[in-house]
Structure formats: structure tokens, C-alpha cells
Amino acid sequence: MKIIAMIPARYAASRFPAKLMQDLGGKPVIQRTYEVVAQMQLFDEVYVVTDSDIISDVISKAGGSVIMSVEEHDCGSDRIAEAVANMDIDIVVNVQGDEPFIDKASLASVLDVFKDDFNKEIDLASVMVPITKKEEIENPNTVKVIVNNENFALYFSRSPIPYPRDAEAGAVYYKHRGIYAFRKSALMDFQRLPMRLLEATEKIEAIRYLEYGKKIKMVETDVVGIEIDTPEDLERAQEAWK
């Protein structure tokens, strides 16, 4: 089974433009993320896929592998699908470029899903983290996921799910971390299938897979990490990196 990692990297992020080129301990964020993933030795190959010459130059000078996007893309899955279309691979892992604190255990856990899936029934694997703070549960920038009793995703939302109509019922809330492992076939399906109402409403690409009947296995972890979405996140990351 050939497994690769893809790190989609846009320069013009809407909430924090050029965040991937911000300094983190003497190197740009995107270079830190690439080096961390490459050093894990979980993958046959690791690539950064980008539309930016600036990001491409940084990774190339660091000795990394870069694929330049040909088309414009609205999401990371589309960008990766274009990049792997002609590759002979089985599993693609999407690591967000703004996660230089990504941990090896979380990536290994999503890969184990496919190693144990002998009938190839699972299309994707992803990661969820329990959350308890009210402000995080209610924050629309925090994507939540609910699962069935076998930890297959039922739905993703920016709203609090489940809604706590009975606060004493003991609901557990999970944050969806942006780590995906795809079968190549599921990723190529994503690229050709049009966006539907729920994905368009929530602006969460994982919903498209559910709307078309794909099976997403969620793996629970307690490693939260630091995603760099805002200047405040970058400050926390710089402190943590020290």
C-alpha cells in the first residue's frame, strides 16, 4: 500500500493572509510543517502543493518536493485531487500547512484505519478531539462532528452539535481536526461531484463526502495542537516553539 502526504498551501488565506510565510523559530510556518511531516517517516513521499511561487521557492530551497497547482481551487481536497490524479498511490493524507505542531501519533492512527480495513469499505479517516469549553463549542470557527457508535461521522457543523436541549444528558462534544486520510478513489470522486446544499451552507468540505454516501471513520485523540488561523494563534505558536 503506497501512502503519501500532501500539504496544501495557499498564500492568500482569507483570515490571515500570508500566514504560512510568517516566522516560526527562524523558518516560515509552511517549512516547519513540511519538515515535521517529512521527519516522521510515515509516508513514501511528502509534497507541498501550492499556487504560490513564494511558497514553492521556500520549500524547494529547503530540499522539499513541491507540486504547483494548474487550476484555481476553492478547497484543499480539490487542490490535492489535481496533484495526485496521475499518481499510482493508494492513500493520500492531507496535512494542513498551518499545523507545524502536528503529532505523529494522530497521523499514524488515521493510517491504521486503512491497514485494518481489509474489505476497503472506509473512504476516509479523520481526527476528532473532545472539547468542553462553552466558548469553543459555540465558536463557529471550531468545526464540530457527531459520530455513531462505531465512530463513523454522521455530520459536521459550525453550530453546537448535538444541541443541548437536555443539559443533563451528558453529551460529549468533539472538535474536528483538519487531518484527512483518503483512498485515492474517494478523493477523485470529490473533485468531480458538485457541491450540494449542506456543504455550501456550512462551508465544510467534509460534508460533501457524507452527502454522496462516503464513509468517514473518525479517530479520537486528546492531542489538540495549534492551528495558526489568526495573528493571536501565531503568537501562541511562537511561544510554544520556544
**pTM of the prediction?**
0.86
For residue 114 the three cell numbers come to: 486503512
Residue pLDDT, tens place only, 44-75: 999 999 989 999 999 999 999 999 988 776 77
Q: Write the CB contacts of 183 (distance below 8 Å, at least 6 apart in sequence).
A: 90, 91, 114, 120, 122, 123, 124
Burial category of 54 from C-beta neighbours within 10 Å (exposed 0-12, middle 13-18, buried 19 and up): middle
CB 218 within 8 A of CB 126: yes
Residue pLDDT, tens place only, 101-150: 999 999 999 999 998 888 899 999 999 999 999 999 999 989 999 999 99
The C-alpha atoms of residue 179 and residue 203 are separated, in whole angstroms, by 17
pLDDT band (50, 70, 90) for residue 14: low
The C-alpha atoms of residue 69 and residue 53 are separated, in whole angstroms, by 10
CB 61 within 8 A of CB 28: no
